Chain A
Amino acid sequence: EAQVTQNPRYLITVTGKKLTVTCSQNMNHEYMSWYRQDPGLGLRQIYYSMNVEATDKGDVPEGYKVSRKEKRNFPLILESPSPNQTSLYFCASRKTGNQPQHFGDGTRLSIL
């Protein structure tokens, strides 16, 4: 089954404790992206990647890191999480730039 898989689905942690949210897709897609969803703000792009070793900042990259060492994986790293990063996070992938995105089920992060 074609899918984008994010882990964990839920996480409660404390300020400053490094965490990684994994994202994996099995569709051989070139493009992958991370978004955060906050009430009233819609989805905002954090980082995106056009291919392996090719990443770029989206609209809200501060406090986040990503890497794309393999085509299927695109982890989101919070080196020193802060409460303002409490949000619902979505990973997405697409075959080419103008194709629809396939989204993971989301990861709800709470930073205390």
Chain B
Amino acid sequence: AQKVTQAQTEISVVEKEDVTLDCVYETRDTTYYLFWYKQPPSGELVFLIRRNSFDEQNEISGRYSWNFQKSTSSFNFTITASQVVDSAVYFCALSVYYTGNQFYFGTGTSLTVIP
């Protein structure tokens, strides 16, 4: 069975603090893809990153960075020097090749950045 767990339901940080959003996934398949999406208060879902199971290289994009560790089945997302505009719900998702690439979403982490 496939599953994505985002144990942090809500996080509040003060502006300029760093924050890490945790994502743990479960799958028995060796070919899979991991994603992060952002849902700001306006409600739309915005794609942030995709990582495949064969590429454990960490990625940095501006203030955002992602740490993919197969050994712990985790794909964590760090925001450095957080800003008010980062306030949103963040979803981690898993797509598994052998289930027809169905997407499995976590329950989301609501991040509030306090000015």
Contacts and interface: CB of A to CB of B under 8 A. Distances in A.
Interface of A: 31, 33, 35, 40-45, 48, 50, 56, 58, 88, 90, 92, 96-103, 105-106
Interface stretch (B40-48, B55-63, B67-75, B76-84): B40-48
Contacts, number: 53
A31 B95 CA distance: 13
Interface of B: 6, 9, 33, 35, 43-45, 47, 50, 52, 91, 93, 95, 97, 100-108
Nearest to B48: A100
Nearest to A54: B100
Contact of B33 (A48, A88, A98, A103): A98
B47 A56 contact: no
Given A97-B100, A98-B33, A42 B45 contact: no
B44 A103 contact: yes
A94 to B, nearest CB: 8
B52 A100 contact: no
Contacts of A98: 33, 50, 52, 95, 97, 101
Contact of A41 (B43, B95, B107): B107
A33 B45 contact: no
B102 A45 contact: yes
A58 to B, nearest CB: 7
Contacts of A102: 47
A99 to B, nearest CB: 8
